[in-house]
Chain A
Amino acid sequence: MGLFGRKRGSARSAKERLQLVLIHDRTDISPAVLEALKDDLIQAISRHVAIDPGAVRIGLERDGRSQRLVADIPLKPVARRRG
């Protein structure tokens, strides 16, 4: 039961499921490939800047009929030395 005691319409599930399925159908990038990509990214970036590996998010996004790979990589705050 959702808001106002009404069951959530099934159209929303259909749309949400299709959004995910279509991205994977279109790109042929499996969740496993995405995970491997994320690990490589973390390694590469960690060589240059300090990041928190646990906070890195990587995913596929739709933009009309094309897809993009989107990574969100929060930087660790720089420990400033007090002068």
Chain B
Amino acid sequence: MAAKVVTITSGKGGVGKTTAVANIAVGLAADGQRVVCIDGDVGLRNLDVVMGLENRIVYDLVDVIEGRCRLRQAMIRDRHLHGLYLIPAAQTRDKSAVSPSDMVRLCDELRAECDWILIDSPAGIERGFRNAIAPADEVIVITNPEVSAVRDADRVIGLLEAEEKGSPSLIINRLNPGMVRRHDMLSVDDVLDLLAVRLVGVVPEDEDVIVSTNRGVPVALDVKSKAGKAFRNIARRLRGEDVPFEDLDGGGFWERLTRLGRK
């Protein structure tokens, strides 16, 4: 049994990488998968607070790499789900403390221990990004339906293709269905037409994300949240399940058809 390594990256900062890693991990672990999340944002760690595990940190990624602890000792067990672990980033070091080959070695050691390794990449296209994508079997690029986020996503997709990482898949996060309906936000189709990559998920703008992040309880644990459902669906798609895309735009063909039918 060898784990699959999935890295989530973006180009532009603040589009939802950390949120996506925490929630997809929850979705996978809730289905009984064994998941290890690695915070690759050395110097700006955040996955610990999003997962609500900040009080349990003893060792971090750089401690493992520099041999101050064993891998197992840096794996923090999740509070809610069995089989979910976090390896936090070092907070007082910078990205140069880690190299791409360190990440490959670490993931190779981890592969036997779990089903999925999810890596939270830092924003940008520098060292931290290189570290995060080095061990990846699959890369997911996340963007918001906004001009600068889409532009930066395109740049990262180009780099990944040039690195022969293969074509990444795409998550569109913070889609506001009302704005799309008013033609004041790029739709899913617009973004797909521009970026020309495979879609793996669409997550709506949802206040529940902020509320749950405040509590340190990922929104995917909330069965009533729309964003939570979207993240759980991404986890199912990663596992190979054919989950239809939610029609969040409200502009889709089927939606128009059912609306007509209701009249």
Which residues from chain A sit less than 8 Å from chain B, CB to CB? 8-12, 14-15, 17-19, 21-22, 25-26, 62, 64-65
| Inter-chain contact A65/B161, CB cutoff 8 Å | yes
Given contacts A26-B158, A65-B161, contact A21 B183 (CB under 8 A): no
| Closest chain A CB from B236 CB (angstroms) | 26
**Minimum-distance CB pairs A-B, first 5:** A9-B183, A64-B196, A65-B196, A11-B183, A15-B190
Beta-carbon contacts under 8 Å, B152-182 to A = 154-155, 157-158, 161, 167, 180, 182
How many Å lie between the Cα of A25 and that of B157 in the bound state? Answer: 12
Given contacts A26-B158, A64-B196, A65-B161, contact A15 B151 (CB under 8 A): no
| Inter-chain contact B154/A12, CB cutoff 8 Å | no
Q: Which residues of A contact B161 (CB under 8 A)?
A: 65
Which of B151, B155, B184, B193 is A9 in contact with, Cβ under 8 Å?
A: B184
| Inter-chain contact B154/A14, CB cutoff 8 Å | no
Question: Contact residue range for chain B?
Answer: 20 to 34
Given contacts A18-B194, A65-B161, contact A10 B184 (CB under 8 A): yes
| Inter-chain contact B187/A22, CB cutoff 8 Å | no
Main secondary structure of the interface of B (DSSP, over half): helix
| Closest chain A CB from B151 CB (angstroms) | 6
| Inter-chain contact A17/B184, CB cutoff 8 Å | no
Main secondary structure of the interface of A (DSSP, over half): helix
Which of B158, B185, B197 is A11 in contact with, Cβ under 8 Å?
A: B185
| Inter-chain contact A11/B196, CB cutoff 8 Å | no
Q: Which residues of A contact B194 (CB under 8 A)?
A: 15, 18-19, 22
- The answer to whether the Cβ of B150 comes within 8 Å of any Cβ in the partner chain is yes
Q: Which residues of B contact A65 (CB under 8 A)?
A: 157-158, 161, 167, 196-197
How many Å lie between the Cα of A45 and that of B157 in the bound state? Answer: 37
Q: Which residues of B contact A19 (CB under 8 A)?
A: 194
Q: What are 13 pairs between A and B in contact, CB < 8 Å?
A: A9-B182, A11-B180, A11-B185, A14-B190, A15-B186, A15-B193, A17-B147, A18-B186, A22-B151, A25-B154, A65-B157, A65-B161, A65-B197
Minimum CB distance partner of A15 in chain B: B190
Minimum CB distance partner of A62 in chain B: B196
How many Å lie between the Cα of A62 and that of B154 in the bound state? Answer: 13
How many Å lie between the Cα of A19 and that of B150 in the bound state? Answer: 11
Given contacts A26-B158, A65-B197, contact A11 B147 (CB under 8 A): no
Which of B146, B151, B167, B186 is A25 in contact with, Cβ under 8 Å?
A: B151
How many Å lie between the Cα of A65 and that of B170 in the bound state? Answer: 14
| Inter-chain contact A11/B151, CB cutoff 8 Å | no
